[in-house]
Amino acid sequence: MNNDTIILSMTTWPPRFAGAIMAMQILLYQRQESGLENRVHPVLVLSEDEISESKNRREACTLMQKMEEMGVETIIDKGNIRSHKKLIPTLEKYPHNPILCVDDDNAQAPGWLRTFVSDHDAHPTDIIYAQGCSRISVQDGRIIETRDDFCMFLTKRGQVTTDIKPGSGAILYPPHTFTDKRFFDRDLFMHLCPSDDETWQWAFAKIAMTTPFSASDVSAVAIPSVAIPTATRSVCCVGNATKTTTATVRGGSPSHTPTAYRLLSACNIPSSLGARQDVALWNTNKTIYTKTHNAIAAAIPEYLEALKQAATH
């Protein structure tokens, strides 16, 4: 595998195992249809703690067997870093490759994967994302995350801004986006934002660069959480899966650093059912998200300073 290969990285957890199979099948079909078999390498990251629990073992074995049949690499990550395992273990194993992080509960429309790859080829040093999620601002020295008009952020195609944080819909990071060793500190991010990998990634991207952000109308259709049908279950030994341990962060100077956040090019994808349903979840969790930003800023002061600097440009 060369460094031009795009790593398609997904994670899941027991309630979403069946949905993850469906989401991955759709992406693999798009990979084949677009002739990208030699360009995109699919990876599924699982928590060793979660799949080792007796109540999850049978479905975990079925999931891994299915992924093996589909040609998907499975990474078993020690411990449980929750949503952070969508990127961190894959980045530790493939530090010199672009990584496309995808959700396990979205069904991507035709042309979605091809669009991501072509956009990356056209802008290889940019972070490419599918849709904006929320607005970040600094008010009286505190970082505030708001979605006062949630759907607005899904439809402002082409608006250049410094304060729209990418959300659901996938994001592609070019090689060497994250070189700060603190980004890989599992104890640190599990203390500051154990369930919010997107804010952690956003914070370190802002520290590394102050560049425009753009919201997008590209979205996807949500896949509901469903159980794997009993007829498809099989028994295997979880212990036979290849395990990875926490890797040492690799040093050295990067060949390049990202130069911009860039929205994904237009793609015929329907409005997101998941996004609209997420409004209720957002109303419940908005205070938690704001606290997360400020917890990161308290531990890593450069984050707040980067946001202040971006706001002045």
Mean pLDDT of the chain: 78
From residue 5, alpha-carbon distances to 81, 120, 241 in Å are 25, 11, 23
- Residue 188 pLDDT > 80: yes
Would you state the pLDDT for residue 282? Answer: 65
Closest alpha carbon to 145 in 275, 312, 293: 293
Q: What is the mean pLDDT of residues 125-135?
A: 75
Who has greater pLDDT, 247 or 212? 212
Partners of residue 191 on adjacent β-strands = none
Three-class secondary structure of residue 223 per DSSP: coil
Residue 257 — pLDDT band, cuts 50, 70, 90? Answer: low
User: Looking at residues 157-163, what average pLDDT do you find?
Assistant: 49
Tokens 């795009």 sit on residue: 6
Question: What pLDDT score was predicted for residue 245?
Answer: 31
- DSSP-derived secondary structure letter, 240: G
Buried b (16+ CB within 10 A) or exposed e, 262-300: bbbeebebeebbbbeebeeebeeebeebbebbbebbeeb
Beta strands in the chain (DSSP E): 6-11, 40-47, 73-77, 99-102, 106-107, 126-129, 132-139, 142-146, 160-161, 164-166, 171-173, 213-214, 221-222, 243-244, 260-263
Of 37 and 167, the one with more pLDDT: 37
Q: Two tokens at 249?
A: 């962060």
For 26-44, letters b (16+ CB in 10 Å) and e give bbbebbeebebeebbbbbb
pLDDT band at 12 (very low <50, low <70, confident <90, very high): very high
Amino acid of residue 234: S
**23 or 149, which is more confident:** 23
The candidate with the shortest Cα–Cα distance to 213, out of 266, 135, 290, is 135
CA-to-CA distance for 10 and 281, rounded, in angstroms? 22
pLDDT reported for residue 167: 65
Q: Return the domain boundaries, the chain.
A: 6-311
Share of the chain above pLDDT 90, in %: 48
pTM (global) more than 0.85: no
Q: What is the mean pLDDT of residues 174-192?
A: 95
Helix axis angle, 302-311 relative to 197-208, nearest 10°? Answer: 70
Give the per-residue pLDDT at 133.
Answer: 65
- CB-CB contact of 258 with 209 (8 Å): yes
Lowest mean pLDDT among 7-16, 131-140, 179-188, 234-243: 234-243
| Residue 251 or 94, more confident | 94
Q: Which residue has the higher pLDDT, 308 or 108?
A: 308
Lowest mean pLDDT among 94-103, 144-153, 213-222, 301-310: 213-222
Residues facing residue 239 across a β-bridge: none
pLDDT band at 266, cuts 50/70/90? low
Can you tell me the mean pLDDT for 168-175?
83
Range name among 38-42, 100-104, 113-117, 262-266 with the lowest pLDDT average: 262-266
- What is the topology classification, in CATH, of domain 6-311? Spore Coat Polysaccharide Biosynthesis Protein SpsA; Chain A (3.90.550)
pLDDT of 141 reads 92
pLDDT at 212 over 50: no
In which element (H, E) is residue 275 found?
A: helix 273-299
